[in-house]
């Protein structure tokens, strides 16, 4: 099982290509704010960028908070998301310890599902899909 990792964020220029790819290919939208991965400046554009996304928690507090089962545990960490089961209640948003779930004005939920669609669209090689067993941080460390 693979998860999305961001081992080379020092290369990121903030182009949002990964977010746009996710938004278009996974969520059928074209906005870097409606994606499972979002890029933010760390402390201004000259200080670098951070990728906000699901970190594949072992405990999955978002799935526990979801009253309908729209978010469920994914083998290897992270969650599976069912648009059909989601009532847009937003209970999962504050439950995420890394602000990896986004919702605007009681609209749809956007969360990284570790599909890897974004990886090939990053022009600087900041992202990669890695085996759960090969990650530097073990699943026990991510909570």
Which CATH number does the domain housing residue 104 bear? 3.30.70.20
6 is a domain residue: yes
Domain, as residue range, for 76: 2-134
Is residue 109 within 8 Å of residue 91, measured between CB atoms? no
Give the pLDDT of residue 50. Answer: 92
139 is a domain residue: no
73 is a domain residue: yes
107 is a domain residue: yes
Beta-bridged to residue 101, according to DSSP, are 111
Residue 44's SS3 state is: coil
91 is a domain residue: yes
What average pLDDT does range 61-79 have in this prediction?
92
Is residue 56 within 8 Å of residue 98, measured between CB atoms? no
Total domains present in the chain: 1
- pLDDT of 18 > 50? The answer is yes
142 is a domain residue: no
Category of 122 on φ-ψ map: left (φ > 0), alpha (ψ -120 to 50) or beta: beta
Give the pLDDT of residue 10. Answer: 93
């Amino acid at each position: 099982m693979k998860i999305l990792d961001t081992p080379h964020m020092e290369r990121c220029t903030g182009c949002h290509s990964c977010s746009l790819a996710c938004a278009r290919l996974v969520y059928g939208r074209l906005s870097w704010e409606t994606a499972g991965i979002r890029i933010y400046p760390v402390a201004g554009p000259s200080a670098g960028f951070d990728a906000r996304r699901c970190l594949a928690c072992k405990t999955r507090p978002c799935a526990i908070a979801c009253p309908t089962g729209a978010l469920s545990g994914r083998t290897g960490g992270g969650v599976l998301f069912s648009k059909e089961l989601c009532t847009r209640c937003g209970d999962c948003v504050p439950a995420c310890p890394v602000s990896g779930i986004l919702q605007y004005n009681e609209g749809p939920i956007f969360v990284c599902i570790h599909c890897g669609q974004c990886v090939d669209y990053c022009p600087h090689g900041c992202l990669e899909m890695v085996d759960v067993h090969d990650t530097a941080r073990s699943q026990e460390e991510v909570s």
